[in-house]
Structure 1
Amino acid sequence: MKKISSLLAIISSSLLFAQAPTWNWVKQSTGAINEAFACVTTDANGNVFAGGSIISETADFGLGPVTTNGSADYSIIKYDTAGTPLWMRNGGGVGNEVVFSISTDAENNVYALIRFESPTVTFGNFTLNCTLGSALGPNPPLPSDVALVKYDTNGTVLWAKKIGGAERESSTAISVDNSGNVYVSAFSESDNTTVGSSSIVVDSNSYVGAFLAKFDSSGNVLWIKRFGNDNIHDGCRLSGLVFDDLGNFYLTGGFSSETFTLGSTTYTNTFPGGYDSFIAKLDPAGNILEQKLLQGTVDDLFGGVVKVQNELFVPFNINLFQISNSATYSFDGVDYSTTTSTGGLLKLDLNLQFIGLVPNINSPGTVLTDGATLYLAGNFFEPTKTFGDFTVTNTNSSTTVPTGDIFIANVDTSGQFLWAKSAGGMGSDDSLGFAIDTNANIYAAGYFNSAPCTFDSFTMNNTSEDNYLDAFVAKLNSAILSNTDLSYEKVALYPNPTQNEVQIESANLLKKVNISDVNGRILDTQFEKTVNLTNLKTGIYFLTIETESGISSHKIIKQ
């Protein structure tokens, strides 16, 4: 009987840990024309911030109707952990305004990068003016500037700084380090571009210039670093940024010019007119310490970078329309191409030395991490998409008029997939932003025009006229709980993630704790509320906690 009970426990555990998490909540906007979220982030308390734009004359995000000022207005909404909207900040002028990127600091302040075209835009008590000039080309876009705006946790604007010139400026990403310094990646088409109140010229000769600016927590510019060549339209774009424990950071980007200078090295593009990509390691002062190049006979684009312990994971995507039998790509001069790959995931050490390609990964999209495993997130248009042993199905199976659904998949650093999820409907349902919180809950934000659009048991219906867009933000649970006698009532774990031990809080008498890996194998059994994890490697584990009132299972992350 004991052997049978043990076998049943192993079987039930295996089924438990192969199960994908479920969507916890989904929130949408309502409006007659378009609303969309372009980015999402969280703070240390698990609150959620989504940013984007509103074109509808009147829209509602759950706090009552808001009206726009003419064209597209920017919008930022704060939700609590249960998805209840707490506050909204929106505004604009006669031009188009949109929030492109959003981040938070350790004190739960919020930083937003907002591109604006209107001559004047007000953020709280701060008013910024767009620098107007003669835009380039026969059918030029409107000149635009970038606003870097800091809000406190209640939505009060603390300061607003402008990045601007006579032509078009736009932003790509924002990150905040542990000291509260703010890093902004952007690009400019102006001859002279100033950042903040310092009137620092980014480059006086360039036609298009990508740059990275570092601000302190008060909005003062500390330094600006230019990427690319003087006097050359290098098409440089910066993609993503992550920090290490020493204050160094890792930056990815790409360029489309024939040559490109990074630090003291000039590279030749292997696909002129298309993109080659780079990753660079910089110190806190912005000096380049190391750099590597991804090159190919097709467009090859880095999508960002994440750090897991002492390793970097860099997603890259290959242009599907340029794939041929002769397509190749290489990293740091060594060929790693395949004729069928549409992208992959590089594994590097902290000095940018190549460790390998993570197997089983194509077209990874956005990559997130919980500190131990990776999450791939994005949109897919094919009828099905496979992640190891898991396959997700597009709600619209048409190959002639395909539409997008959303995917999220969890994979360990060796390429073993743990689960995969999808969501969507028959229309275009796309997530433009993804985020992960400290408890490994995943958030997706974007737009949809399906009626209905389904996230497990949650159904949204588009409310716009003529098949326009509504915005959405959704939370995917991280914890996978057992189907036995569930008693979630008063069981809590902390800290999580953890390094050596985790504390169990429960009002009920503890009987035992089984520690299992992601495959359901029981590694250890303990009987105290302080669970010792010292002998375990870094990774994801599950604690199956048995008390006098029932059994529950909880995911923990060992760092």
Structure 2
Amino acid sequence: SLPATGQSNKFKRLYSNSSGGEWAISALNFDDSTFLLNGFCITDSARGLWMMKIGSDGTLLDSRVFAKPLTIFLGASAGSLVRVGDHYYVGAGDQYPNPNIPNEYYGMPYIVKLESNGLDTVWTKRLINDTNKYYLPASFKVTGDHHLLLAGAVCKPYVTPGIFDYFLIKADTNGNVLWEKKYGVNNLDERCNNVEVDYDSTILLTGMKYSSGKYRPWIIRVDKNGNNPQYKQYTIPSMQHAGVDVKKRAGGGYYMTGFTDSLLQAGDDPETMYLGRLDSNLNIVWRTFVNSPYLTQIWDFFERENGSVVFCGDRKDSVTGKPYGYIAKADSNGNLLWWQTYHEYPQRVNYLSCVRPTADGGIIACGSAFDTLTGQNQNAWVIKTDSMGCALTQCVTSVADAHPFAEKVMIYPNPAKDRFRLSCGTGTLITVYTLSGSRVYQQVINTGNEEISTEGWVRGIYLVRLQMKGGGFITERLLVE
């Protein structure tokens, strides 16, 4: 195996602010050597919004906690921290005990404005004040005209408990609500996960709608004023969906991710995650399912300049049965390039829920790690890797869970100079990528033994992906000198 190359600034750290628990929800590049993160912190009497600033080596530089007694104050999701001009904003929600009904709660959407240091508050504003509704904020974005969008799910818990609709709130940077919209079908449960602003200022709301006994991916496209909704539902027989997310592509159209649960099999844990591409009309161009013998979820992703996709989530370990965090990368056609798994507590619980690019070309991901099954001593968890997902100084990157590849594979010489030979089964598709995901070679091997020229290739490490006719694949590394 060959060590992966990448940036020097790598770390994997836990952060704690109390004896209760913490979760890092979203991360941004504050400058070339500093990161700003938001999340929540459980104190003795409340949960509060927690802001952290960390250095390029993971050192905690400063932090703030904004807590209210008996209040759950959460960041919305992986995209809940944004920057507009010189200030930062957090889209969030709270949860209060209902003074009129014992053991009942109501939740309201909030926006917090922070100073240019990303830590001190300018103001905190509740956008809606209606104790007859329960808001679950899920996504927070900035529009092209520097307004703020907060989206999620809302219900009337005392009228239709458990039946949610999508909501979308547009506010200015002073926290004034410009308008609020709700979208839904009567007596059906719809949960919004993400809001996305397209290049033409139209807005996409993505999530799930309960239909025919299953949750299905559901997208609503509206104009910049939240009007003229267009609906799109996706159906896969015998599959229930969760974690559905859609983001715009630099080359037009969208990427779509999520995970499914086959209702034909025992258990209700997610089994298969998928990555797909949609055209500008929201029609599926392709969709790749990453089948794994271990339960896998995808929670966040971003697009690289060359169209490749980096994503993160968690998967259950085959030995311990506990979730481990992972970061993976696929090319613009959904082919898996590499996969890295991480944990702090091998016998416990490790989650990654946000992934972002860094100024040095690397990757930062954050979430939470537990050291007991009860959730005690839960800590915020942040990983900074190079471009190949390596969080250690010496690291070997590989594609995990490659589909069974029946043929014996030989790549020689390796390292190679001006050419190399590949021996494998006939009819195998070979694709060679740079570490950044750019394709430099693709050919179907019909002889079982192929000589491939590396003329014009830059010196360095390449990923050689082999795919059989039957669908099995494997990825090997090749060093070109």
Q: TM-score, normalised by structure 2?
A: 0.69
Counterpart of 2:122 in structure 1 is 158
Counterpart of 1:421 in structure 2 is 340
Structure with the higher fraction of residues in strand conformation: 2
Is 1:410–2:385 an aligned residue pair? no
Unaligned runs of 5+ in 2: 391-431, 441-456, 461-481
User: Hey, what's the Cα distance between the residues in 1 that align with 2:180 and 2:147?
Assistant: 13
After superposition, the Cα gap between the structure-2 partners of 1:117 and 1:343, relative to the gap in structure 1 and judged at 3 Å, is closer
Unaligned runs of 5+ in 1: 1-13, 58-69, 120-131, 193-202, 257-268, 328-339, 384-396, 451-461, 482-515, 524-540, 545-559
Is 1:184–2:150 an aligned residue pair? yes
Secondary structure of the structure 2 residue equivalent to 1:117: strand
After superposition, the Cα gap between the structure-2 partners of 1:369 and 1:298, relative to the gap in structure 1 and judged at 3 Å, is same
Cα distance, 1:349 vs. partner? Answer: 1.0
Instruction: State which of 265, 269, 272 in structure 2 corresponds to 1:342.
Output: 272
Cα distance, 1:42 vs. partner? Answer: 0.6
Is 1:51–2:38 an aligned residue pair? yes
After superposition, the Cα gap between the structure-2 partners of 1:205 and 1:315, relative to the gap in structure 1 and judged at 3 Å, is closer
User: Hey, what's the Cα distance between the residues in 1 that align with 2:271 and 2:14?
Assistant: 35
Counterpart of 1:110 in structure 2 is 88
User: Hey, what's the Cα distance between the residues in 2 that align with 1:169 and 1:519?
Assistant: 43
Counterpart of 1:253 in structure 2 is 207
Contact between 1:74 and 1:90, CA under 8 Å: does it hold in 2? yes
Cα distance, 1:410 vs. partner? Answer: 1.0
Cα distance, 1:430 vs. partner? Answer: 1.6
Is 1:72–2:37 an aligned residue pair? no
Q: Which amino acid aligns with 1:472?
A: W
Q: Percent identity?
A: 17
Instruction: State which of 318, 339, 356 in structure 2 corresponds to 1:435.
Output: 356
Q: Which amino acid aligns with 2:354?
A: G
Q: TM-score, normalised by structure 1?
A: 0.60
User: Hey, what's the Cα distance between the residues in 2 that align with 1:204 and 1:157?
Assistant: 36
Contact between 1:93 and 1:118, CA under 8 Å: does it hold in 2? no
User: Hey, what's the Cα distance between the residues in 2 that align with 1:142 and 1:207?
Assistant: 16
Contact between 1:97 and 1:114, CA under 8 Å: does it hold in 2? no
Counterpart of 1:27 in structure 2 is 13
Cα distance, 1:428 vs. partner? Answer: 1.2
Instruction: State which of 239, 242, 259 in structure 2 corresponds to 1:301.
Output: 242
After superposition, the Cα gap between the structure-2 partners of 1:408 and 1:205, relative to the gap in structure 1 and judged at 3 Å, is closer
User: Hey, what's the Cα distance between the residues in 1 that align with 2:361 and 2:161?
Assistant: 45
Cα distance, 1:207 vs. partner? Answer: 6.3
Cα distance, 1:317 vs. partner? Answer: 1.3
User: Hey, what's the Cα distance between the residues in 2 that align with 1:39 and 1:302?
Assistant: 15
Is 1:239–2:193 an aligned residue pair? yes
After superposition, the Cα gap between the structure-2 partners of 1:144 and 1:364, relative to the gap in structure 1 and judged at 3 Å, is closer
Q: Which amino acid aligns with 1:149?
A: V
User: Hey, what's the Cα distance between the residues in 2 that align with 1:219 and 1:542?
Assistant: 51
1:174-253 paired onto structure 2 within 5 Å: 174-190=140-156, 208-230=164-186, 232=187, 234-253=188-207
Counterpart of 2:427 in structure 1 is none
User: Hey, what's the Cα distance between the residues in 2 that align with 1:84 and 1:422?
Assistant: 22
Q: Which amino acid aligns with 1:358?
A: T
Cα distance, 1:188 vs. partner? Answer: 2.8
After superposition, the Cα gap between the structure-2 partners of 1:298 and 1:466, relative to the gap in structure 1 and judged at 3 Å, is closer
User: Hey, what's the Cα distance between the residues in 2 that align with 1:411 and 1:76?
Assistant: 31
Instruction: State which of 217, 221, 226 in structure 2 corresponds to 1:281.
Output: 221
Q: Which amino acid aligns with 1:111?
A: Y
After superposition, the Cα gap between the structure-2 partners of 1:204 and 1:421, relative to the gap in structure 1 and judged at 3 Å, is closer
Q: What number of residue pairs does the alignment pair up?
A: 385
Contact between 2:26 and 2:39, CA under 8 Å: does it hold in 1? no
Contact between 2:36 and 2:54, CA under 8 Å: does it hold in 1? yes
Instruction: State which of 375, 380, 387 in structure 2 corresponds to 1:478.
Output: 387
After superposition, the Cα gap between the structure-2 partners of 1:422 and 1:204, relative to the gap in structure 1 and judged at 3 Å, is closer
User: Hey, what's the Cα distance between the residues in 2 that align with 1:251 and 1:542?
Assistant: 42
